[in-house]
């Protein structure tokens, strides 16, 4: 993941602050209209640690893959997502 995470509402000082709950992404739209977010991802452990889904500009994106050569993880709007039911565990899946 990137060392610098931007938050448009953060107070700007001479040193950078990490904004909890934010992830630096690069958006794009594919020719078929599917929207994609990419983020830096240095390895498989980093990929597994990324959130399963992101909300960006009011749209939900699901984590769909990782390119180990480019060190990039992908999130897409066409990923099928299900909401986790509170109180239920997903450990061991």
Instruction: Say whether pTM exceeds 0.75.
Output: no
Q: Residue 47: what pLDDT?
A: 95
30-85 pLDDT tens trace:
999 999 999 999 999 999 999 999 999 999 999 999 999 999 999 999 999 998 88
Residue 11 has pLDDT above 60, yes or no: no
List the helix and strand counts (H, then E) for the chain: 1, 5
């Amino acid at each position: 993941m990137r060392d610098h995470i931007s938050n448009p509402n953060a107070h700007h000082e001479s040193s950078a602050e990490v904004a909890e709950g934010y992830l630096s992404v690069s958006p794009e739209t594919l020719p078929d209209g599917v929207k994609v977010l990419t983020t830096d991802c240095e390895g498989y452990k980093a990929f597994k640690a990324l959130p399963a889904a992101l909300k960006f500009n009011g749209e939900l994106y699901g984590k769909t893959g990782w390119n180990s050569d480019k060190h990039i993880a992908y999130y897409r709007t066409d990923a099928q997502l299900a909401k986790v039911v509170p109180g239920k565990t997903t450990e061991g899946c």
